[in-house]
Structure 1
Amino acid sequence: MVSPVDVVKRLVLGRPFRSDRLGETLLPKRLALPIFASDPLSSVAYATQEILLILTLGGLAYIHLAPWVGGAVVVLLAVVVLSYRQVVQAYPSGGGSYEVAAENLGPVPGLVVAAALLVDYVMTVAVSVAAGVDNIISAVPDLNPHRVAINIGFIALLTAMNLRGVRESGRAFAVPTYAFVAGVLVMIAVGLGQALFGHAPVAESAHYEINAHHIGLSGAAVAFLVLRAFSSGCTALTGAEAISNGVPAFRKPKALNAARTMSAMGIISITMFSGVTALAMISRTRVTEDTCDLIGFPGDCHTDPQRTVIAQIAAAVFGGNSVVFYYLMVTTALILILAANTAYNGFPLLNSILAQNRYMPRQLHTRGDRLAFSNGIILLAVVAGALIYAFDGSATRLIQLYIVGVFTSFTLCQAGMVRHWNRELATATTAGERRRIHRARAINAFGSCFTGIVLVVVMITKFSHGAYLVVFAIPVLVALMYSIHRHYTSVRAELDIADGDEETLPSRVHAIVLVSGWTKAARRAVQFARATRPDTLTAITVNVDDADTRLLDQQWERRNVIIPLKVIESPYREITRPVLDYIKRLRRDQPRDVVSVFIPEYVVGHWWENLLHNQSSLRLKARLLFEPGVMVTSVPWQLRSSASRDLSRVEHHPGEVRKGITTSPPTPN
């Protein structure tokens, strides 16, 4: 009989994969691009909008600065792509920024990078899903009251898809990703063509005025406004490092395929971001953080949301009720939501590497039924869902916590690469090899300086708007990882067997069987205890009810049980404490002896039956585990209700032998 939980699990996740099928999950470039690059590709849907949101704080007078800010973002994106191509080829093992920083700069910078990336991956899921839901609401405003529930629903869907495995999620995400890219490129081509032939698209907000929050800004204030707009536009770079973390998932040659995918991602992202920014300026698109700052907005600014920038551009180019408009809105929403897949691949993989190095719990290192890092995927979903709930699903509020972690990892990774090339240069022998290393080092050095400056800008401009939470979270995560590592190190040292250690056998073994009545379960426990051939064997019972104790004593004599029964008095009707006191006295009198406690337990078939049985034994075992020199053995007795569960296990675990029944694995197709 198959349990309902197993049925649901198989419907959601599919059949489990054998470990030797891991090679079948490796990705060709056409699937790797939507899996690892969906985040930077999708960020063009909101990066331009984030620039305009900040510039409009000063009014319409500063919107003309958007192309210059966008140009700086494009240059930065190109530098980062070139820099990470070096990382992919030098470190193809999949550690990415963490491995580079840890190996070249030391464990502390490595953990800082790891913590920054973990925070960024969580923010990627929260921001991408929230931005996608924003675009859905742009097309269907009536869904606005259900924003948080829709966000959490999409996170649950993404989690289920990723638990099915990397390759299957890649197939599911490939079509929306390529459909979005094609739609945006067509929109850019058509919109620029219209402008070229004198029929420039006009956004629905082109005639709006803006209620400026800052009027008559000084030179320093304008510079700060531009820098803040630039830091917001740098969201276009989020996820750019994900390919360097996912190199092991590529088909061979892994490093070459990953580098080519990185280049394709950079070219497509730059083209789309530049085109959307140009069309936003041509169509005179207006957008503000507070809808009530739009003078001329036709709806209720307190309840009606304004359309996103990409929605306004699509409506201006194709018409607000056209099929192409809704196509773009659907694909934009899908790609933004599916962009979280970048984090669903990077977060579990990074946690697995950290767990392998003993900086995260070991459970995060193991793969699940479908050869995905299931525990890491579920952890990411829970934390991202909590953020969505805490920030009411607002992409504008969540994005203020974004990209601090990105540029922290960018800067330290590129600095680590400079040190890596310095070591390589010391061993290079040929002139061609030295030229290649000099070129690579120059790229990484420039990237480190550039991203370091951007990190300072981002920290200053976003700190008071929520980035301080990330600034505090990173050192807390580093401290947590250090604590985990220290625990594992101390446990390993404590358990390590040194060459001079001697094996000391106990003087004697005292076996104790806990009984409450003479039943089949108690008889099996006694028989099993006798089979271990201890030096002494005693059955003990705790007297909490005189009538039950007298009945047990009579059964003991009538059945002629050959081991003695000792009754422990318990005037306060406790069971655990009297047994513990008895064992402690035994250990105190004979400290070199070992006490082996046998506890009969019932094996049940339904979860609710556990509430009716075994509670005393569970409490007792929990206390006995802390007693030195005490061994605890559970002796199971299977009740009839457990038979159905046992059969279902036989069906789900071919090749195992249970109760004399042998099953063979199915023959592969």
Structure 2
Amino acid sequence: MLLRQVGQEWGRVSAARDAWRAALPVDPDVGSYPDPAQIVPARFGRIVQVPPLGGLPLPADVGVVEAGAPGRRRPGPWLRHALLGAPLRSTAIARERMRKTVALPVLSADALSSVAYGPEALLAVLVLAGTAGLAYAVPVAGAIVFLMLAVGLSYRQTIRAYPHGGGSYIVATDNLGRVPGLMAAAGLLTDYVLTVAVSVSSGMAAVTSALPGLAGDVVLIGLLVIAVLLAGNLRGVRQAGALFAAPTYAFVIAVLALVAAGLYDAAGRDFQPVPAPSTHAVEGVGLLLVMRAFASGSTAMTGIEAISNAVPAFEPVAWRNARTTLSWMIGLLVTLFAGTIAVVHLSGVVPESQETVLSQLAHLSFGSGGMYIFIQAATALVLLLAANTAFNDFPRVLYLLARDDHAPRIFLRLGDRLAFSNGIILLSVLAAVIFAAFDGKTASLIPLYAVGVFLAFTLSQCGMVVHWWRRRDRHWRKSLAFNATGAVLSAVVFITAGITKFTEGAWLAILTIALFLLVTTRIRRHYDAVRRALRLHARSIEIPGRTLRARPETRAPGKEEEAEETGGGAEGPSERVPVRKRRVERRERKKPEVPEEEREETPEEIRHLSVVLVDELHQASMRALAYAASLQQPVLALHVSPSDEDARRFRESWQLWGDHLPLRIVISPYRAIVTPLISYIEQLHHQRPDLTITVILPEIVVRHWWHRILHSPLAARLRRALRPLPKIVVTTVPFHVYGAV
């Protein structure tokens, strides 16, 4: 194996491993983070104090480490933790999963709230043909209800086949290939961004229907709502679910009450429809008009996929709870949509520019009293908060893309509150830009809406057809029939929306999907090239030309220290004192005072320690290790792992290489890399303030500036964080990949 061969080459030129360990001027074991039981998740914004590694105190000029973030006291981390809550350990993610009663409003808010604008979008197209066009409202709505049932049943099969989460991207990639998978992901991400913009704009329309005086401040209020959604979702899944559950349930109750009141009024006149007010027809009734209405009304289906895409967010048994929740969502969606269309047809209401259809129905049934206010408030809240579905799923799709090297790797990281913070922030920025660009007008955003989501529906269902055809397990024919029906109907809506709404804005969604394909394939090509460049080669092995020489001042343990470590002295065993405690006490006795000002030193007075940061063993890290060893100074390799399993795998690779240099592995309790690195280096500085610590890390150097976005600027972040500490040097060993990309 190449790694063993590299280690053998190292063994021929390097000093013995015992010499490297004896030369260390510090104790590399500075402790670890507290056990999971010792860290209590914060509630209601309370900050949890987490000590540094090992619980050792830091010098006064460094400050107290709060919530795992080392460095001086700064208002930024304190404010972030106060607003978003203290960090949670990775093991807390099981406690952050959703039960069905919370998952239903969280993941169904988008689909259920679309009842507020889906029927209106359908009627807004048919009314162009006057009374003759409105006569087609019920048949078209019936076709949409059939589509809802077919697609809903199809996604039940998807959850059964992919119990660990089967969004369109995963299903299409597994069964149709990489390009169809990327097309599905492009459609989903486009739809999620528009979901936020449309939900907020529709919510503002509901507000201005009841309070016309706010019409001039729609954009400003909408941007503030997006900011609130951003903060709520950065707190984590459980907090967001509790926040958004009540408005969704209130909206369901409000629409059911509205439908019941409308049907009760219609029963008094034997369900005879009230003639609609006369409207001026600007188009004739034709197939194109009906298909446009069908495509517009189908926007009520956006969000159906959310549950199948978020199966891991459910409490165990996750897939079973997800299927149950999906069934409830489909039942509620069909009931609310069909009931609204029926009441609109019976009451003779037509869309108006100044007032929404739901507002008109509420006025007819309840006047302007308390029930009307409740319906409008519930509608506004659920529309404004329905974007939460996108905040749950957009970051997950980005995570999957980054895992497959189709997106920057910063989207792989979980934030302090176990949410994909970078994806949430990106979604908020894009949605805010689109919302402001279209002045918060729902009618302008709807034409962009259906293209992306029905492209994802189509590819997902086609992928499931291939899946069942390949597996042919029990009931495969029934499952294939369900998914084939969903695929055909979704394709009809996608083609119809693309053709009939192309000039109204669908072209922009199609162009966005094409650009997404171009960018993601280029990102994958870049990561593949870098991976090839970093791969170890037998003919290109990075080894040091010269290494450590034995010195009399090395930190080899003497008799006194050996006696302390064994718990006894020359006269026999004594009372045992933990080794860790004795070492700490000795450091406390012998450590010099931290100088208030850095004084000049001669070259002979400088004592060195090189700390090499190693993420994995490849060409770049081998070059950094060889550089550090060639300085003929003590070297300590440092690796940060997010879990014990990852640490075990890295240690096995390190042993296979030969274990030539001292290694310290730190288990990061917050999935972070930079924070544990800084905390560890601060503890080394605390042991020996007179020591010059050189932090060495490999740096991938790329040809173009836009490639730098794909690689983490770790060196710059370390320099900023360690700048307050004296005698800390951060240096990089460049590894150029110009010829590879």
TM-score (norm. length: structure 1): 0.72
Residue 257 of structure 1 corresponds to which residue in structure 2?
Answer: 321
Residue 236 of structure 1 corresponds to which residue in structure 2?
Answer: 300
Is the contact made by 2:454 and 2:491 (CA closer than 8 Å) also made in structure 1? Answer: yes
Matches within 5 A, 1:42-57: 42-57=113-128
Structure 1 pair 33–527 and aligned structure 2 pair: CA distance change class (3 A): farther
Instruction: Give the CA RMSD over aligned residues.
Output: 3.3
Residue 324 of structure 1 corresponds to which residue in structure 2?
Answer: 371
Structure 1 pair 454–253 and aligned structure 2 pair: CA distance change class (3 A): same
Instruction: Give the C-alpha shift of residue 371 in structure 1.
Output: 0.4
In the alignment, structure 1 residue 476 sits paired with structure 2 residue 515:
yes
Instruction: Give the C-alpha shift of residue 400 in structure 1.
Output: 1.0
Structure 1 pair 382–192 and aligned structure 2 pair: CA distance change class (3 A): same
Instruction: Give the C-alpha shift of residue 384 in structure 1.
Output: 0.1
Mapped to 1, the partners of 2:480 and 2:209 lie a distance apart of 46
Q: 1:397 aligns with which of 423, 444, 459?
A: 444
Moved more, 338-347 or 8-17: 8-17
Is the contact made by 1:191 and 1:201 (CA closer than 8 Å) also made in structure 2? Answer: no
In the alignment, structure 1 residue 21 sits paired with structure 2 residue 85:
no
Q: 2:257 aligns with which of 186, 208, 222?
A: 186
Residue 131 of structure 1 corresponds to which residue in structure 2?
Answer: 202
1:65 is aligned with what amino acid?
Answer: Y
Mapped to 1, the partners of 2:375 and 2:700 lie a distance apart of 64
- Secondary structure of 1:59's counterpart equals helix
Instruction: Give the C-alpha shift of residue 484 in structure 1.
Output: 1.2
Instruction: Give the C-alpha shift of residue 195 in structure 1.
Output: 0.8
Instruction: Give the C-alpha shift of residue 483 in structure 1.
Output: 1.1
Mapped to 2, the partners of 1:188 and 1:422 lie a distance apart of 43
In the alignment, structure 1 residue 467 sits paired with structure 2 residue 538:
no
Is the contact made by 1:43 and 1:238 (CA closer than 8 Å) also made in structure 2? Answer: yes
Mapped to 1, the partners of 2:127 and 2:263 lie a distance apart of 24
Q: How many residues align?
A: 516
Mapped to 2, the partners of 1:633 and 1:10 lie a distance apart of 25
Structure 1 pair 409–528 and aligned structure 2 pair: CA distance change class (3 A): farther
Instruction: Give the C-alpha shift of residue 502 in structure 1.
Output: 2.7
Mapped to 2, the partners of 1:633 and 1:407 lie a distance apart of 43
Residue 407 of structure 2 corresponds to which residue in structure 1?
Answer: 360
In the alignment, structure 1 residue 451 sits paired with structure 2 residue 522:
no
Residue 514 of structure 1 corresponds to which residue in structure 2?
Answer: none
In the alignment, structure 1 residue 346 sits paired with structure 2 residue 393:
yes
Residue 140 of structure 2 corresponds to which residue in structure 1?
Answer: 69
Is the contact made by 1:194 and 1:201 (CA closer than 8 Å) also made in structure 2? Answer: no
Is the contact made by 1:26 and 1:251 (CA closer than 8 Å) also made in structure 2? Answer: yes
Is the contact made by 1:201 and 1:317 (CA closer than 8 Å) also made in structure 2? Answer: no
Instruction: Give the C-alpha shift of residue 211 in structure 1.
Output: 3.2
Residue 281 of structure 2 corresponds to which residue in structure 1?
Answer: 212
Structure 1 pair 7–104 and aligned structure 2 pair: CA distance change class (3 A): same
Moved more, 391-400 or 93-102: 93-102
Mapped to 2, the partners of 1:339 and 1:201 lie a distance apart of 35
Q: 2:289 aligns with which of 225, 235, 248?
A: 225
2:361 is aligned with what amino acid?
Answer: I
Structure 1 pair 251–505 and aligned structure 2 pair: CA distance change class (3 A): same
Mapped to 2, the partners of 1:351 and 1:412 lie a distance apart of 18
5+ unaligned residues in a row in structure 1: which ranges? Answer: 292-305, 510-518, 534-592, 597-602, 604-620, 644-669
Matches within 5 A, 1:143-542: 143-198=214-269, 208-214=277-283, 217=284, 222-288=286-352, 291=353, 306-319=354-367, 321-425=368-472, 428=473, 433=474, 436-506=475-545, 523=600, 531=608
Instruction: Please give the per-residue CA displacement for 1:123-160, whole angstroms capped at 9, x wherever unaligned.
Output: 10000111011101101000000010011111001111
Mapped to 1, the partners of 2:420 and 2:268 lie a distance apart of 53
Instruction: Give the C-alpha shift of residue 181 in structure 1.
Output: 0.4
- Secondary structure of 1:498's counterpart equals coil
Mapped to 2, the partners of 1:17 and 1:274 lie a distance apart of 43
More relative contact order in 1 or in 2 (CA 8 Å, sep 6+)? 2
Mapped to 1, the partners of 2:357 and 2:115 lie a distance apart of 10
2:513 is aligned with what amino acid?
Answer: I
Structure 1 pair 469–527 and aligned structure 2 pair: CA distance change class (3 A): farther
Structure 1 pair 524–354 and aligned structure 2 pair: CA distance change class (3 A): farther
Structure 1 pair 209–444 and aligned structure 2 pair: CA distance change class (3 A): same
Residue 58 of structure 1 corresponds to which residue in structure 2?
Answer: 129
Instruction: Please give the per-residue CA displacement for 1:204-226, whole angstroms capped at 9, x wherever unaligned.
Output: xx775433322xx2xxx611111
Mapped to 1, the partners of 2:476 and 2:356 lie a distance apart of 45
2:462 is aligned with what amino acid?
Answer: A
Instruction: Give the C-alpha shift of residue 102 in structure 1.
Output: 0.2
Structure 1 pair 525–267 and aligned structure 2 pair: CA distance change class (3 A): farther
Mapped to 1, the partners of 2:602 and 2:521 lie a distance apart of 44
1:315 is aligned with what amino acid?
Answer: H
Instruction: Give the C-alpha shift of residue 471 in structure 1.
Output: 0.4
Residue 86 of structure 1 corresponds to which residue in structure 2?
Answer: 157
Structure 1 pair 528–349 and aligned structure 2 pair: CA distance change class (3 A): farther
Residue 115 of structure 1 corresponds to which residue in structure 2?
Answer: 186
2:461 is aligned with what amino acid?
Answer: Q
Structure 1 pair 161–637 and aligned structure 2 pair: CA distance change class (3 A): closer
Structure 1 pair 238–501 and aligned structure 2 pair: CA distance change class (3 A): same
- Secondary structure of 1:182's counterpart equals helix
Instruction: Give the C-alpha shift of residue 61 in structure 1.
Output: 2.4
Identity %: 41
Structure 1 pair 121–524 and aligned structure 2 pair: CA distance change class (3 A): farther
5+ unaligned residues in a row in structure 2: which ranges? Answer: 1-62, 64-72, 549-595, 611-628, 633-677, 679-696, 704-713, 726-741
Is the contact made by 2:126 and 2:137 (CA closer than 8 Å) also made in structure 1? Answer: yes
Mapped to 2, the partners of 1:474 and 1:633 lie a distance apart of 35
Instruction: Please give the per-residue CA displacement for 1:626-665, whole angstroms capped at 9, x wherever unaligned.
Output: 99xxxx999x99999959xxxxxxxxxxxxxxxxxxxxxx
Instruction: Please give the per-residue CA displacement for 1:65-102, whole angstroms capped at 9, x wherever unaligned.
Output: 11111111100010110000011111122241111100
Is the contact made by 2:123 and 2:134 (CA closer than 8 Å) also made in structure 1? Answer: yes
Is the contact made by 1:228 and 1:461 (CA closer than 8 Å) also made in structure 2? Answer: yes
Mapped to 2, the partners of 1:384 and 1:71 lie a distance apart of 32
Moved more, 444-453 or 100-109: 444-453
Instruction: Please give the per-residue CA displacement for 1:290-341, whole angstroms capped at 9, x wherever unaligned.
Output: x4xxxxxxxxxxxxxx11001111111111x110111000000111111101
Structure 1 pair 525–468 and aligned structure 2 pair: CA distance change class (3 A): farther
- Secondary structure of 1:82's counterpart equals helix
1:143 is aligned with what amino acid?
Answer: L
Structure 1 pair 638–51 and aligned structure 2 pair: CA distance change class (3 A): closer
Structure 1 pair 115–489 and aligned structure 2 pair: CA distance change class (3 A): same
